Amino acid sequence: MRIIAAQAKNGAIGNKGGLLASLPTDMKHFREETTGRTVVMGRATLESFPGGRPLPKRRNIVLSTTLPESDSYEVVRSVEELLELLGADNGDDVYVIGGGQIYSRLLPYCGSATITEIEGEFEADTYMPVLAELDDWELISRSERMEENGCGFTFAEYRRKQA
Protein backbone atom coordinates (compact mmCIF):
# COMPACT_ATOMS: atom_id res chain seq x y z
CA MET A 1 0.00 0.00 0.00
CA ARG A 2 0.96 3.59 -0.52
CA ILE A 3 0.33 6.70 1.57
CA ILE A 4 -0.83 9.98 0.11
CA ALA A 5 -1.07 12.91 2.52
CA ALA A 6 -0.63 16.65 2.90
CA GLN A 7 1.39 17.47 5.99
CA ALA A 8 2.96 20.44 7.76
CA LYS A 9 6.54 20.16 9.06
CA ASN A 10 5.44 19.34 12.62
CA GLY A 11 3.41 16.36 11.37
CA ALA A 12 0.03 18.11 11.37
CA ILE A 13 -2.52 16.90 8.80
CA GLY A 14 -5.91 18.16 9.98
CA ASN A 15 -7.92 20.47 12.17
CA LYS A 16 -11.53 20.30 13.34
CA GLY A 17 -12.41 17.59 10.85
CA GLY A 18 -10.90 19.41 7.85
CA LEU A 19 -7.60 19.88 6.04
CA LEU A 20 -4.94 22.43 7.02
CA ALA A 21 -4.96 24.48 3.83
CA SER A 22 -6.84 24.81 0.57
CA LEU A 23 -4.37 23.96 -2.21
CA PRO A 24 -6.06 23.41 -5.60
CA THR A 25 -2.86 22.03 -7.17
CA ASP A 26 -2.59 19.49 -4.36
CA MET A 27 -6.24 18.48 -4.86
CA LYS A 28 -5.57 18.00 -8.58
CA HIS A 29 -2.45 15.95 -7.81
CA PHE A 30 -4.48 13.80 -5.37
CA ARG A 31 -7.24 13.27 -7.95
CA GLU A 32 -4.79 12.33 -10.71
CA GLU A 33 -2.86 9.92 -8.48
CA THR A 34 -5.87 8.12 -7.03
CA THR A 35 -8.46 8.07 -9.84
CA GLY A 36 -9.09 4.55 -11.07
CA ARG A 37 -7.39 3.11 -8.01
CA THR A 38 -8.36 1.87 -4.55
CA VAL A 39 -8.53 4.37 -1.68
CA VAL A 40 -8.54 3.29 1.97
CA MET A 41 -9.74 5.71 4.64
CA GLY A 42 -11.07 6.02 8.16
CA ARG A 43 -14.70 6.81 8.94
CA ALA A 44 -13.87 10.42 9.96
CA THR A 45 -12.18 11.09 6.62
CA LEU A 46 -15.19 9.78 4.70
CA GLU A 47 -17.37 12.12 6.77
CA SER A 48 -15.07 15.05 5.89
CA PHE A 49 -15.92 14.71 2.17
CA PRO A 50 -18.75 16.79 0.65
CA GLY A 51 -22.01 15.19 1.72
CA GLY A 52 -20.04 12.44 3.44
CA ARG A 53 -19.94 10.72 0.06
CA PRO A 54 -17.11 8.43 -1.18
CA LEU A 55 -14.73 9.60 -3.92
CA PRO A 56 -15.99 9.05 -7.47
CA LYS A 57 -14.16 6.82 -9.99
CA ARG A 58 -12.28 5.01 -7.23
CA ARG A 59 -12.82 1.86 -5.20
CA ASN A 60 -13.53 3.24 -1.71
CA ILE A 61 -12.78 1.11 1.34
CA VAL A 62 -13.66 2.56 4.75
CA LEU A 63 -12.35 1.32 8.10
CA SER A 64 -15.08 1.63 10.72
CA THR A 65 -16.61 -0.32 13.56
CA THR A 66 -19.79 1.79 13.48
CA LEU A 67 -20.75 2.58 9.87
CA PRO A 68 -23.53 0.49 8.35
CA GLU A 69 -22.88 -1.40 5.13
CA SER A 70 -23.32 0.71 1.99
CA ASP A 71 -23.75 0.27 -1.76
CA SER A 72 -21.35 3.12 -2.51
CA TYR A 73 -18.30 1.97 -0.54
CA GLU A 74 -16.93 -1.12 1.16
CA VAL A 75 -16.65 -1.21 4.95
CA VAL A 76 -14.06 -3.21 6.85
CA ARG A 77 -14.16 -3.61 10.62
CA SER A 78 -10.44 -4.12 11.29
CA VAL A 79 -7.00 -3.97 9.68
CA GLU A 80 -7.06 -7.77 9.45
CA GLU A 81 -10.33 -7.62 7.50
CA LEU A 82 -8.83 -4.95 5.22
CA LEU A 83 -5.79 -7.10 4.44
CA GLU A 84 -8.04 -10.09 3.78
CA LEU A 85 -10.24 -8.04 1.43
CA LEU A 86 -7.25 -6.71 -0.51
CA GLY A 87 -5.55 -10.08 -0.72
CA ALA A 88 -2.71 -9.91 -3.21
CA ASP A 89 -3.97 -6.52 -4.48
CA ASN A 90 -2.15 -4.57 -1.77
CA GLY A 91 0.56 -2.88 -3.85
CA ASP A 92 1.10 0.68 -5.05
CA ASP A 93 -2.38 0.88 -6.60
CA VAL A 94 -3.89 0.98 -3.12
CA TYR A 95 -3.73 4.46 -1.61
CA VAL A 96 -4.09 5.05 2.11
CA ILE A 97 -5.73 8.48 2.16
CA GLY A 98 -6.13 9.17 5.91
CA GLY A 99 -6.82 10.40 8.37
CA GLY A 100 -4.49 10.42 11.35
CA GLN A 101 -5.61 7.15 12.92
CA ILE A 102 -5.50 5.28 9.65
CA TYR A 103 -2.12 6.62 8.48
CA SER A 104 -0.54 5.61 11.78
CA ARG A 105 -2.26 2.23 11.90
CA LEU A 106 -1.44 1.30 8.27
CA LEU A 107 2.06 2.78 8.05
CA PRO A 108 3.71 -0.61 8.80
CA TYR A 109 1.95 -2.06 5.72
CA CYS A 110 2.97 0.77 3.37
CA GLY A 111 6.07 0.73 1.18
CA SER A 112 5.90 4.18 -0.40
CA ALA A 113 4.37 7.58 0.14
CA THR A 114 3.71 10.82 -1.63
CA ILE A 115 3.61 13.67 0.86
CA THR A 116 2.62 17.23 0.08
CA GLU A 117 4.93 19.04 2.49
CA ILE A 118 3.38 22.34 3.49
CA GLU A 119 5.43 25.23 4.87
CA GLY A 120 4.33 27.20 7.89
CA GLU A 121 2.52 26.57 11.12
CA PHE A 122 -1.13 25.64 11.42
CA GLU A 123 -3.62 25.15 14.18
CA ALA A 124 -4.08 21.37 14.20
CA ASP A 125 -5.59 18.50 16.14
CA THR A 126 -4.62 15.57 13.90
CA TYR A 127 -1.10 14.32 13.11
CA MET A 128 0.76 11.52 11.36
CA PRO A 129 4.40 10.43 11.64
CA VAL A 130 6.92 12.57 9.74
CA LEU A 131 8.54 10.07 7.36
CA ALA A 132 11.73 12.15 7.04
CA GLU A 133 12.31 11.51 10.76
CA LEU A 134 11.92 7.72 10.55
CA ASP A 135 15.04 5.55 10.18
CA ASP A 136 13.36 3.05 7.88
CA TRP A 137 12.08 5.60 5.32
CA GLU A 138 14.06 7.61 2.75
CA LEU A 139 13.34 10.57 0.51
CA ILE A 140 13.40 9.62 -3.19
CA SER A 141 12.52 12.88 -4.92
CA ARG A 142 11.03 16.29 -4.37
CA SER A 143 9.21 18.58 -6.80
CA GLU A 144 10.01 22.23 -7.29
CA ARG A 145 8.49 24.58 -4.74
CA MET A 146 4.98 25.86 -5.47
CA GLU A 147 2.85 28.47 -3.76
CA GLU A 148 -0.91 28.87 -3.54
CA ASN A 149 -3.15 30.96 -1.31
CA GLY A 150 0.00 32.29 0.36
CA CYS A 151 1.15 28.80 1.25
CA GLY A 152 4.40 27.22 -0.01
CA PHE A 153 4.58 23.46 -0.63
CA THR A 154 6.40 20.65 -2.45
CA PHE A 155 5.50 17.09 -3.43
CA ALA A 156 7.93 14.66 -1.80
CA GLU A 157 8.24 10.96 -2.63
CA TYR A 158 9.36 8.58 0.12
CA ARG A 159 10.13 4.88 0.09
CA ARG A 160 10.62 2.35 2.82
CA LYS A 161 14.33 1.46 2.86
CA GLN A 162 15.16 -1.92 1.37
CA ALA A 163 16.34 -4.42 3.97
Ligand X SMILES: NC(=O)c1ccc[n+]([C@@H]2O[C@H](COP(=O)([O-])OP(=O)(O)OC[C@H]3O[C@@H](n4cnc5c(N)ncnc54)[C@H](OP(=O)(O)O)[C@@H]3O)[C@@H](O)[C@H]2O)c1
Site for ligand X in 4-43 (CB under 6 A): 5-6, 13-14, 17-19, 41-43
User: Does residue 45 touch ligand X according to CB under 6 A?
Assistant: yes
Cross-strand partners of 8: 118
User: Is the dihedral angle over the CA atoms 126, 131, 132, 133 positive or is it negative?
Assistant: positive
Among 63, 96, 107, 156, the residue binding ligand X under the rule CB under 6 A is: 63
Name the residue nearer to ligand X (CB basis): 6 or 131: 6
- Counting Cα atoms < 13 Å in the Cβ hemisphere of 19 gives 16
Q: How far is the CB of 34 from ligand X (least distance, A)?
A: 11
Q: Look up residue 88 and give its DSSP letter.
A: T
Q: Site for ligand X (CB under 6 A): which residue of 78, 141, 142, 147?
A: 78
Q: Is 52 left (phi over 0), alpha (psi -120 to 50) or beta?
A: left
Closer to ligand X by Cβ: residue 14 or 163: 14
Of 51 and 163, nearer to ligand X (C-beta) is 51
- Interaction residues for ligand X, span 94-123 (CB under 6 A): 97-102, 105
Per DSSP, the residues of 95-127 read EE---HHHHHHHGGG--EEEEEEE-S----SEE
Does position 54 bind ligand X by CB under 6 A?
no
53 contacts ligand X (rule: CB under 6 A): no
Distance in angstroms (rounded) separating the CA atoms of residues 139 and 127: 20
- Whose CA is closest to 58, among 112, 19, 94? 94
Footprint of ligand X on this chain (CB under 6 A)? 5-6, 13-14, 17-19, 41-45, 48, 63-67, 77-79, 97-102, 105, 126
